[in-house]
Chains A and B, each alone.
Chain A
Amino acid sequence: MSADVSDLSLVRRVQRGDKGAFDVLVLKYQHKLVKLVMRYVRNPAEAEDIAQEAFIKAYRALPQFRGDSAFYTWLYRIAINTAKNAVVSRDRSPIEYDLDRNNSEESYEMQGRMKDAETPEGLVLTDEIRSTVNTAIAALPEDLRTAIVLRELEGLSYEEIAAAMDCPVGTVRSRIFRAREAIDRRLREVFEGGLGRTEELG
C-alpha cells in the first residue's frame, strides 16, 4: 500500500477546489510542523506563525504538487525553508538541533522554553489534554497500548506492527482503532467539558 495514499486523496480534493480537505491536512500535521519549526525559533508563538505561513504557502503551491514525494515531505521542506527565511530576516541565529536525535534532556529544555512564552489559558488546556491522554493510555489493555505506541511513537506501519506483535494486519488495525476510541472518549470530555473549547478542534 502506498505510504501516502490518504494524504494524496485529500491533496487531490484540495486541487479540485475542496478547501475543507486542506483543513483536514492542517489538523493532521499542525503539531508536527510546529515542533519542526521550533528547532529554528525559540518562541512557540513565533513557531506557530511560521507554521501558519508554511501551511498557507503550501496551499498556494498545491496546484503544482504532483505527488512525486509524500505530502508531508513536501510540506516539511516548505516549513524548513520558511523557518530559515524567518530566522535570516529577523537576524537571529537558528538553534541547531539534530533532526534524528530524540534526547529527553533536550526535550525538557525545549518544553521549559515553550512554557515561558505560553499563555496561562493555553497551558491549562495543553496540560489537561496531555494528562488525559497519558492517563487513558495507561489504562489501556497491553495489546492496545503496544499497538498505538508502536504506531504513533515509533511510526511503524501496520504490517511492521503485525510482524512485531505476531498477529494479522487486520488485528493491528482493530487494536489501534480501539485504542484511539478509548483515548478519544476521555479527550472529548475535556474539549466538551469544563473548558468549553469544542469548536477549537472543528
Chain B
Amino acid sequence: MNEELDSQLSAMFDNELPAAECELLARRLSRELQLKARWGRYAVIGATIRAEGGARLDAGLARRVNAVVSAEPTFLARPARQSANQLPRRWRRPLAGIAVAASVAAASIFWLRFQGTPQQTTTLVDASGPASTTQDEHLMSASLGSPGSYVIPKRAVRRSIVPATQLANYVVAHSEFSSPLNRRNLLSALMAAESGTAGLSSGSEEPTEDVYDDAKSAQ
C-alpha cells in the first residue's frame, strides 16, 4: 500500500489530517475494504494500549451494527438541504411578519377604495338635491371621526358634476354591451341630474353638451 496514503490514514485516525485531505480519504475509506481493515486494526492497537479490552478485540460488534445499518433507509442528502435552509429559516419569521403586514396594508387600501366608490356614486345620484350636501357632510364627519381612514371625500359641488360626466362617458362608451332599455333609463336619469345641477350651480365645470361630445368621441 502507498506509504503516503497510510501516513494520511494514521493522521486521519488521530483527527490530525487537514479537512480537505480528510474529505478525499473519507471517500476512499468508506469504499475500500483493505483500507477499512487497516483502520480497524489501528483502533485495536489503541484499545490494547489503553487496556480497552472490552468484551472482544475483534470486530464482531462492528459487523452486527453494519448488518442493522445496511437494512436501514439511506439518508438522502438531508444535511445539505438543512444547511441551505438554515439561513432562510433564520429570516423566515421576520419575513412572514413583513408579508402579513404588507397583506393587511394592501387589503386596507383596497377596502378603503372599494368603500369610497359607492359613496361617490350615491353622491352623484343625489348631487342636485339639497340632501347631497348633508350626506357629504355626514361622510366628511364619518371620515374625520375614524382615525384609521385615509380618504377625505371631496366637496359636494365639485363631485356632483365631475363624477356624473365620467359615468356618462363610461355608460356611453359601453352602451353597445348594455340593453337599450337600461341604457335609455340611465341616460335619461343622467340628463335629468345634470340639467338640475346646471340650474342650481351656475358656472359649473362641465356643460351638458360637452358630456355628449365626450361620449361621442369615446364611441
- The residues of A with any CB-CB pair to B shorter than 8 Å are 1-7, 9-10, 12-24, 26-32, 34-35, 38, 44-45, 47-48, 51-52, 55-56, 59-60, 62-63, 66, 107, 111, 114, 117-118, 122, 125-126, 129-130, 133-134, 137, 148-149, 151-153, 157-158, 173-174, 176-177, 180-181, 183-184, 187-188, 191, 197-198, 200-202
Q: B48 to A133, Cβ gap below 8 A? A: yes
Q: B54 to A56, Cβ gap below 8 A? A: no
Contact (A44, B23) CB under 8 Å given A13-B30, A198-B37:
no
Verify if B6 is at the interface (C-beta below 8 Å from A). Answer: yes
Interface size class of B (residues with CB under 8 A): 35 or more
Tell me what chain A mostly uses at the interface: helix, strand, loop, or mixed.
helix
Contact (A52, B75) CB under 8 Å given A23-B36, A198-B37:
no
Closest B residue to A108 by beta carbon equals: B51
Q: B41 to A187, Cβ gap below 8 A? A: yes
Contact (A47, B55) CB under 8 Å given A6-B22, A20-B31:
yes
Tell me what chain B mostly uses at the interface: helix, strand, loop, or mixed.
helix
Q: A2 to B58, Cβ gap below 8 A? A: no
Contact with A along B69-98 (1 / 0, CB 8 A): 110101111111010000000000000000
Q: B80 to A158, Cβ gap below 8 A? A: no
Q: A200 to B59, Cβ gap below 8 A? A: yes
Bound together, the chains give a CA A77 to CA B70 distance in angstroms of 24
Q: B10 to A107, Cβ gap below 8 A? A: no
Which residues of chain B from 24 to 76 have any CB-CB distance to chain A below 8 Å in the complex? 25-27, 29-31, 33, 36-66, 68-70, 72, 74-76
Bound together, the chains give a CA A1 to CA B68 distance in angstroms of 34
Bound together, the chains give a CA A59 to CA B23 distance in angstroms of 20
Most buried by B among A30, A55, A60, A66: A30
Q: A30 to B59, Cβ gap below 8 A? A: yes
Q: B50 to A122, Cβ gap below 8 A? A: no
- Chain B residues with CB under 8 A of A45: 55
Q: A201 to B78, Cβ gap below 8 A? A: no
Verify if B145 is at the interface (C-beta below 8 Å from A). Answer: no
- Between-chain CB contacts (< 8 Å), 29 pairs: A6-B13, A9-B23, A10-B29, A10-B30, A13-B27, A15-B75, A15-B79, A16-B80, A20-B36, A24-B29, A24-B30, A30-B62, A34-B54, A34-B55, A55-B65, A59-B72, A60-B72, A111-B51, A114-B55, A122-B56, A125-B58, A153-B49, A158-B14, A177-B10, A183-B45, A197-B58, A198-B37, A201-B41, A201-B44
